[in-house]
Structure formats: C-alpha cells, structure tokens
Amino acid sequence: MSTHLAEQSATLQNIGRLLIKCSDQPGIVSAVSTFLLHQQANIVESSQFSTDPEGGHFYLRIEFYSDNLLKKKDELERDFQQIADEYEMEYRFSYAAELKRSAIYVSKEPYCLMELLWEWQNGDLNTDIVVVISNHEDSREMVEALGIPFHYIPANKDIRQQVEQQQIQLMKEYDVDVLILARYMQILTPDFVNHFPNRIINIHHSFLPAFIGARPYERAFGRGVKLIGATSHYVTNDLDEGPIIEQDIERVDHRDDTVQLKKIGRQIERRVLARAVKWHLEDRVIVENNKTIVFH
C-alpha cells in the first residue's frame, strides 16, 4: 500500500456507505435516515434516483460518519435487515477504510496502466493494487519499481483456457475485488467473466456503441467522424456491450489522420478509465440489468 493510501485509510476509519435498490414507495429515505440517526451516524452525502414515483425503481447511495464504525459494523448490518425486509431492498454496506484490492491487466501499450499508477501514487485512487498481469514483459520494470507484483502470462487463443485458469487462481491468491483491463488485448471467455460479475472494468477505444470491435480509429477515420471518444464499461459475455460506467469525447476534423486520432484517443481513454475505476472504488455505481446508475 502506498504511503498516501495508508494515511487516507486512517482518516477513513469511520466512513461507511450504503447502496440500495428497490421498488419506489413512500418512506424509504425517512426509514433509512432515521435508522442511521439511531446508530449515531451522521449523513455526509446522499444521492437518490427514481425511474418513476409511481411504481418505479428506486436507487439510493448514502455516505455516513459514525464513531468506531468498524467495531460496530456487524451489529449495524444485522439491525438494518429489518428495514431491508420491510421494503424488499437489495442493499450492501461498504466501509471506506477497507480498501478494495485491485488487479490490473495490461498488454503492450502502458498508457492506461501508467495513468492508474500515477493516480494511485498520488493518493487519488483509493485501492490497494495487489498485482499486475500482462501477456507482455514491457511494463514489468515500472510496476516492480513501485513494489507491485508483476506476472507475465503469455496468452493467445490456442492456450486461452489454461491461461485463464492460471489467472483465476492468481485472483484467488491475491484476494482480488476488482479487475481492471487497462488495454489488455485478449478476449475473455464466458467462464472467466462468470467468475467476476460486475467486477471487471474495461476501457474501449471507441464511443460505444459506435465502432464495436477492433481497429475503431481506422474505421472512424474512414467515416470522417467529427467526434471521437472512449467508453469504460463492465465486462459481460456480450463483446463490448456491458453496462457503461463512463464515456467522454473530443472534437476532431479533417486535418486529423489516423495517427493523430489515436493520440487524442489515448488521452480520452486514460481519463475515462481512471474516472470509472474511481467511481467503482467509491461505491458510486449501481448496476441494473445492462445499465448503470452512477452517483457522481
């Protein structure tokens, strides 16, 4: 863990988060806030959304402060079950001091990896990066210089099954919570994806759903597009069609050739992936079917 993260972890000891989704009905916010009041918890941030006040779906994220939170979290969660049952909620508590453990997957191009490592070193990415996995050796030196384990695992379609079994075993050994595909240029099999539902975050070098698949910049250039973008999404078994977490764009014109489009695109990809990962780590994302609710 970086020095910045160790210091932040200490300051976040008493910060908790509660994410809820259920059918919309009167009284939900009141019930939850009253419960937290009785637990001597102070709400510091609250965001909610309803698809329809009459029979819609309701989503809520609350961040709260409570003294000695980690010591009483089991009691807190046990007592909340009564409210959850009453409103038929899907919910989860998380605790800011319990940093999620991240694995980063990368191939030859390191620019997204470097952005994540910089954010992590700077204390702006609240996670414990426990391992980097790559099918190329290019990034080993920069990763190991930061004290992060680096595993080189050659991968191609002919050995994909055995490679993924090795990767799954490593995820267990490192007790990984979230997998970040920082330009990892390998197709993941359904078996691998099913092991980590809504826990694999990818960056796609295109403003989806346009130009799904390979060589999007070349295809965008061929169409003479005026905007290019990037998309970060959770990985599902439908290629490049998982729930979208974040997107961004830049304007381009006829002067920009494929080389320039890629250069601009790399800048977009870096910031889009970093934002998506940060929001996931801060429990700001609720997945609903193939969409997300993101509380910024």
Residues annotated as catalytic (active site), given as ranges? 240
Q: Which residues contact 118 (CB under 8 A, 6 or more apart)?
A: none
Amino acid identity, position 225: V
Residues 6+ apart with CB under 8 A from 287: 198, 234, 243
d(CA 160, CA 153): 11
End-to-end CA distance of the chain: 26
As a whole number of angstroms, the distance between CA 195 and CA 281 comes to 19
Backbone angles phi, psi at 190, to 5 degrees: -55, -35
CA distance 160 to 167: 10
Helix (H, G, I), strand (E, B) or coil at 290: coil
